[in-house]
Structure 1
Amino acid sequence: MDIAALLTSAGINIAVCVVLFTLYSILRKQPSNVNVYFGRRLASRRSKSRDLCLDRFVPSPTWVMKAWETTQEEMLTTGGLDAVVFSRMVVFSIRVFSVAAIICTILVLPVNYYGQDRIHKNIPFESLEVFTIENVKEGSQWLWAHCLALYIITLTACTLLYSEYKSITNLRLVHITSSQPNPSHFAIVVRGIPWSSEQSYCETVKKFFSFYHPTTYLSHQVVYKSGVVEKLKESAAAFVFFKSRYDALTVSQSLQTSNPMLWVTELAPEPQDVYWPNLCIPYKQLWIRKLFTFAASVTFVLVFLIPVTFAQGLTQLEKLEKMFPFLTGMLQKKFVIQLVTGYLPSVILVLFLYAVPPVVMLFSTMEGCISRSERKKSACSKVLYFTIWNVFFVNVFAGSVISQLAVFSSLTELPAQLAKAVPAQATYFTTYVLSSGWASLAFEIMQLFPLFCNLFQRFILGYNEDTMNGDLTFPYHTEVPRILLFGFLGFTCSILAPLILPFLLFYFVLAYLVYRNQLWPIAHNTTVISLLVAQVIALGVFGIKEAPIASGFTIPLLICTVLFHQYCRERFLPVFKNNATQVLIDMDRRDERCGKMEQIYELVNSAYCQFSGSTQSECFSSHQGERELDRTPKDMETGKENRQEDISWPPVLHSFDKPVIGGK
């Protein structure tokens, strides 16, 4: 691939972005699209009718300024902590890759370009390989520049990682202590309740916690299975409420009986975050479900090798001509060559990757997650690993000399094999950033699916604005992996193919404008893994290029990165996994001094209403006693539909001028 093919891909994606951003600036001004681009909460406050004026049909960049001027405090208020953490991921990427782009452009790129004694062509007709480390001669003394750049990038990344981890940890603690009393802090979920022929689950729960936790137990609410019968039958799960936050934390973390499969306790999710269908799953089934999900995920990865290999094959014109001889004449044309090698492979892979998040979300649901946030966090991790494996490693293996090897002779040869393969595929990753990065942001801000749904509901089904649902959720399980994947590509290719960095930096700046939890540990881990992979590849490259000094200096860098990661795990990660006892006790005593505890108890007893269509009196609590709820089949079907609706835990966050809904 040459520079002209890369510029062709960039030109196509720039044109797509300009068109979609222009359409967005017009469509967001139309009253009929208020629910799509601003959410129902703001839509209800805005005027339902506007006078017809020319300004509504003229593109304007005002949304860019609004996005840029939005403060972190405003994001925290409207979008919750998750929205703030997501934006900090983007800001971190901008900072670290700004440094990487400057260092590699000044220090590494000239070394790569003049690494061989050769006559250079005009820049547009130069092959991209001359800008990579492949163009540096073996034994060159200039390889120290790559080692120095790797040190600077690693030190910059670790410094910023530590600063962000510390800042977000403090922000999380402040957010918890300053928030209104949360019912989930006083509640635990109990599963694996033993069945008894002599008494109901409700009586069993009350008897157990009244006996073993008599001074701290407050009340409980049994989870019910809903069906098409008129009366509900109970399931072996319940919410149990305690008199203080500390009591709930202590019980949730302790083993209740000698049988770990019975009376299993954990902290309860927030009321609006509960995924009710999975609460009815017997606890003993969960390990089987996880095994099945793991097997299904592995099968899905293997099946996905087919489109990845096909997309990678498009970059090799010789193979295409042999497989499809009738295309020989067409593949000789200059523009077709630039289009096929520079644009189509990444576009095809991106289209296939759109099928991944829904499938992975199904897998996470089948695992039995009891909260919507836990389900999306699980899906986020799965999508991240899936995309890194298929976009990076499979492409490297399929499009390089590694594809010709049956197995690695030993693990020690892995750095050398990656060192041969990754530079050869670095140009493909550059075009992938263009197609999957720039274009995806343009489609994200356009919100095509909600836009079409809005048009269909309004003009086909005849819904009015009051009956239309505008509370959309932000797809963290698709956008977080994309951000982290590009960071992975940036770190691994920074000193190998520096040309990727300007395109990557532009993507993160654009993402900062388009986008505005515990999600941060995922970002931290992925960044550290990216640094380690980059260092391992550099170690192999320096070995191939016969630069023993550079290889020797890379080994301490690997060790220090691992030690840094372990320190951060010990210093910050526990705060994200559990609430601190000191913090909870201080909050309990503060509420006791203010006389709020009785009010909190009333809130806790009525917070977890399983059937969203029912009244407060229909929510089950032990202080109301055990009783059957008479409901018609129609009522139960309505309740079932409402429970399965995706409540906005991850807030809506499609652009800065769109207020987000929900959030923690």
Structure 2
Amino acid sequence: MIVSALLTAVGLNLLFTVLLFALYSILRKQPGNLSIYAPRLLAAARQADDGETQTRAHFSIDNILPSVGWVRAAWRLSEEDLLASSGLDGVVFMRIFVFCLRVFSVAGIIGIFVLVPVNYLGDQLSIDDFSDLPNKSIDLFSISNVDNGSNRLWFHFSAAYIITTFVCYLLYDEYKYISAKRLSHFMASKPMHHHFTILVRGIPVRSGGSISNTVERFFMDYYPSTYLSHVVVHQTSKLRHLIEIPAAFVCFKSRFGAASCINIPQSDNPTEWVTEPAPEPRDVYWPFFSTSFTQRWISKFIVFVASFFLIIIFLLVAAFVQGLTYLEQLEIWLPFLKNVLKIAVVSQVITGYLPSLLLQLLSSQIPPLMKLFSTMQGYIANSEIEKSACGKMLWFTIWSIFFANVLTGSVTSQLELLLDPKNIPALLAIVVPAQASFFIAYVVTSWTSVSSELTQTMVLLSHLFTCPCSKKESNEKINEPSISYHSEIPRILLFGLLGLTYFILAPLILPFILVYFGLGYIIYRNQLLNIYSPKYDTGGRFWPIVHNTTIFSLVLMHIITIGIFGLKKLPLASSLIVPLPILTLLFNEYCKKRFSPIFQAYSAEALIKKDRGDENSPEMRDFYEKLVTAYRDPALMPLNCSVTSNDRHSPLLSQ
């Protein structure tokens, strides 16, 4: 990509971003749009006013003028307020942006003020005329322009060690901080139903017995002092009768009693009496059950195969998208556009903007599929479904967006390198820098993508089409959506991967990534404040995913750096980089031993302290009574049909 094409992409996306910000600041002021841009605040106001909140307002010129007041409100939002409104998951989500802003602020300073000048002053690409810079390739600013064997490459070597040390320090600090937050959040919480409850699968029912009686006898026999009650799970369907499933939610009198039952095998047969933590009642995905261990195993295998083929299909799509970045390739595919492609503006838009836009649009259709795949696997909770979908999306993003684009068009020409694992660093050193311009354009295009989160375009269009056709009650329940962590977290981590990978190779990408994280920080703070309401709280269990992905990004950067120093005829630097991935993996292993157990289960120390603190609480009697009924399937609850004179609820036939 030439510099002018990059500037065109930057200009277009900057314009779209400013327009979306201005449009949002106007739309949010319109009283009729409160249910779209402030459903959380509207619901809270209606609850406080017993459902009689008025949304009418007199015309004001201020309502049709853009403003930045919402930016100040989002910036002033404290972490304590965020914790109270969005739970620890919301705090962890915003800590990802904080972490990335810290990393790429330092990386940007090193990259722009040290590495970019070093790269630009190189002679490898033999650029003699610098007067016509807009028509030159942005490779001038990459490591490709540094002479082979040049001592200037030691700047890049030093930068690799500095940024690795800094990132590892921040990772440790964040892991420690969020772990402490998780423990303090638990210790400060009121008694929660899922802390006293476990799920038991694979209940062995003998002939002539019932599931309920079997569960009762088993737990009264083995846990007589802590067992409280149980609820057998039923599978309801419009097409089938009510089914008895061999699973139950079992409630205990203490948190420690429930945790003890989870961590000890209950039977010599590992497929019977299988215990696991219960989710919050609001988090249970009631149509979740596959009735047997075999069925769940088969479902996971089918999902694995389907995910694999989805990645293969997307690889073909990525190959087509990559072809758009090369005018000569595009002229071969579409010869009738040859004359049009000679127009400078058209060619710059097509090569600098269109490919990344197409990839953004196509990749946005994948998260619903991954969530569907995770649902098919039989997870018991919406949070577990989203965590599983997050992992699938992460691997899909890494393989189908990053590796697919760096390897497309290069694997065949470098096939002999790919056949020998020893040549993988050399292969990556060749193909990854070649796609620097594409990913810079991809990051720039993402400014518009993240800004479109503000306008909630699809929700707004749906509101405009349905509003004139429907009459809403003043006390009708407001729909408060929840944030899709399974799609948003992998997207953020992709930009972290790109930033660390291209930090050494093409540091020109860093300021654009920094702008993306800055936009995301403000936008998502605003959305969590006004729109998204938590449907569950995992206690920050998404953070280990962030930590592990960042470690992967660092190691990938090290492998590419080893290869690039080899290609640049600086074998000593290549050898001295080798300890870096080893030390990084050792650091990761330490963090796994030190912090991961905190995110898997609470310690006996914490559980017993909480239990002792609740022993003399008068509220516990009422809590135990509600605990018995907390895990009943809503489909089996009696309907409360109140008599009303409203025509919408009157009977179709009257006497």
Report if aligned partners of 1:169, 1:576 keep a CA contact under 8 Å in 2: yes
Spell out, residue by residue over 1:241-282, the C-alpha distance to the aligned partner (whole angstroms, 9 max, x if none).
Answer: 111100100101211111111111111001100001113643
Q: Which residue of 2 aligns with 1:576?
A: 599
- Cα distance in 2 for partners of 1:361, 1:227 equals 22
From 610, 617, 624, the equivalent of 1:594 is 617
Find the aligned partners of 1:281 and 1:157 in 2 and give their Cα distance: 45
Report the alpha carbon displacement of residue 560 of structure 1 after superposing the two structures with TM. Answer: 1.2
Say whether residues 1:449 and 2:451 are aligned partners: no
The within-5 A match list for 1:392-431 is 392-400=402-410, 405=415, 408-431=418-441
Structure 1 distance, partners of 2:556, 2:390, is: 21
Q: Is the 8 A contact 1:226 1:233 kept in 2?
A: yes
Pair 356,130 (structure 1): closer, same or farther in 2 beyond 3 Å: same
Deviation at 1:464, TM superposition (A): 3.8
Distance 2:243 2:391 in 1: 35
What corresponds to 1:99 in structure 2?
106
Distance 1:486 1:443 in 2: 17
d(CA) in 2 for partners of 1:554, 1:289: 43
Offset at residue 452 of structure 1 (A): 2.5
Unaligned runs of 5+ in 2: 526-539, 641-655
Change (3 A) 1:471 1:538: same
Q: TM-score, normalised by structure 1?
A: 0.90
SS in 2 for 1:235: strand
Q: Deviations over 1:507-545 (max 9, x none)?
A: 111111001231110110011100000010000000010
Matched, 1:42 2:44: yes
Aligned equivalents of 2:412, 2:104: Cα separation in 1:
29
State the alpha-carbon separation in 1 of the partners of residues 617 and 467 from structure 2: 49
Deviation at 1:506, TM superposition (A): 0.6
Provide Cα deviations, 1:182-218, integer angstroms capped at 9, x if missing partner. 0101100011112333122111111211122222111
One-letter amino acid of the counterpart of residue 611, structure 2: D
Give the C-alpha shift of residue 234 in structure 1: 2.0
Query: Does structure 1 conserve the Cα–Cα contact (< 8 Å) formed by 2:36 and 2:459?
Result: yes
Query: Retained in 2: the 8 A contact 1:189–1:265?
Result: yes
How many residue pairs get matched? 616
- Tell me what 2:522 maps to: 513
Q: How do 1:15-94 residues align onto structure 2 when only pairs under 5 Å count?
A: 15-40=15-40, 41-42=43-44, 44=46, 47-94=54-101
1:330-375 CA distance string (max 9 Å, x none): 1111111111110011011111111110111110000111000000
Q: CA deviation at 1:2?
A: 0.8
Other-structure match for 1:627: none
Q: Which amino acid aligns with 1:312?
A: Q
Q: Aligned residues: percent identity? A: 46
Distance 1:461 1:580 in 2: 52
Q: Aligned partner of 1:53: which letter?
A: S
Matched, 1:118 2:141: no
Post-superposition Cα deviations, 1:213-252, rounded to whole Å, max 9, x if no partner, equal 2221110001112134897332111100111100100101
The match for 1:502 is: 511
**Secondary structure of the corresponding residue to residue 228 of structure 2:** strand
For residues 404 and 416 of structure 1, do their structure 2 counterparts lie closer, same or farther at Cα, with a shift above 3 Å needed? closer
The CA deviation at 1:151 is: 1.1
1:140 aligns with 2:153: no
Measure the CA separation in 1 of the matches of 2:343 and 2:367. Answer: 37
Contact 2:417–2:424 (8 Å) recurs in 1: no
Q: Which residue of structure 1 lines up, in the alignment, with residue 184 of structure 2?
A: 174
How far off its partner does 1:597 sit?
3.3
Choose the corresponding residue for 1:341, options 337, 351, 366: 351
Matched, 1:186 2:209: no
The within-5 A match list for 1:85-484 is 85-116=92-123, 118-119=127-128, 120-228=130-238, 232-279=242-289, 281-400=291-410, 405=415, 408-435=418-445, 437-467=446-476, 469-484=478-493
Q: Given the alignment of the two structures, is residue 524 of structure 1 paired with residue 547 of structure 2, yes or no?
A: yes
| Structure 1 position 381, deviation (Å) | 1.0
Contact 1:315 1:345 in 2 (8 A): yes
Q: Which amino acid aligns with 2:26?
A: I
Runs (5+) with no aligned partner, structure 1: 618-664
Worse-superposed segment, 363-372 or 587-596: 587-596
Distance change >3 Å, CA 227–CA 337, structure 1 → 2: closer
**Relative to structure 1, is the Cα distance of residues 43 and 315 closer, same or farther in structure 2, using a 3 angstrom cutoff?**
farther
Task: State how far apart, in whole Å, the 2-side matches of 1:593 and 1:211 are.
Answer: 27
Alpha-carbon distance in structure 2 between the residues aligned to 1:413 and 1:300: 28
Q: Aligned residue for 2:536?
A: none
Provide the C-alpha distance between the structure 1 equivalents of 2:396 and 2:188, rounded to a whole number of angstroms. 38
Give yes or no for the alignment of 1:614 onto 2:623: no
CA contact (8 A) 2:13 2:444 kept: yes
Q: Which amino acid aligns with 2:258?
A: A
Change (3 A) 1:111 1:465: farther
**SS of residue paired to 2:444:** helix
Contact 2:414 2:427 in 1 (8 A): no
The offset of 1:588, in angstroms, is: 0.3
Structure 2 SS opposite 1:255: coil
Distance 1:536 1:231, change over 3 A: closer
Secondary structure at the aligned position of 2:233 is classed as strand
Instruction: Tell me, in whole angstroms, the C-alpha distance in 2 between the residues paired with 1:416 and 1:407.
Output: 8
Q: Is the 8 A contact 1:400 1:425 kept in 2?
A: no
Greater displacement, 292-301 / 326-335: 326-335
Structure 2 CA distance for aligned equivalents of residues 324 and 172 of structure 1: 56
2:573 corresponds to 1:566 = no
Amino acid at match of 2:90: A
Alpha-carbon separation, structure 2, partners of 1:149 and 1:540: 16
Secondary structure at the counterpart of residue 471 of structure 1: coil
Query: Within 1, Cα distance between the matches of 2:590 and 2:468?
Result: 57
State whether residues 411 and 418 of structure 2, in contact with CA within 8 Å, keep that contact through their aligned partners in structure 1: no
Structure 2 counterpart of 1:205, which letter?
Answer: V
Equivalent position amino acid for 1:417 in 2: L
State the alpha-carbon separation in 2 of the partners of residues 230 and 105 from structure 1.
65
Shift of 1:396: 0.6
* Post-superposition CA distance 1:390-440 (Å, at most 9, x none): 1111101104365552772311100000001111111110000011x2011
Consecutive aligned runs of 4 or more in structure 1 exceeding 4 Å deviation: 401-404
Task: Please say which of residues 141-150 and 598-607 is displaced more in the overlay.
Answer: 598-607
Task: Identify the residue that residue 535 of structure 2 maps to in structure 1.
Answer: none
Pick aligned residue for 2:571 from 548, 555, 579: 548
Tell me if the contact between 1:219 and 1:241 (Cα under 8 Å) persists in the aligned partners: yes
Q: Give the Cα–Cα distance (whole angstroms) in 1 for the partners of residues 333 and 245 of structure 2.
A: 59
8 Å CA contact retained: 1:399, 1:425? no
In the alignment, the residues of structure 2 paired with residue 432 and residue 175 of structure 1 have an alpha-carbon distance, to the nearest angstrom, of 38
Once the two structures are overlaid, the 10-residue window that deviates more, 580-589 or 326-335, is 326-335
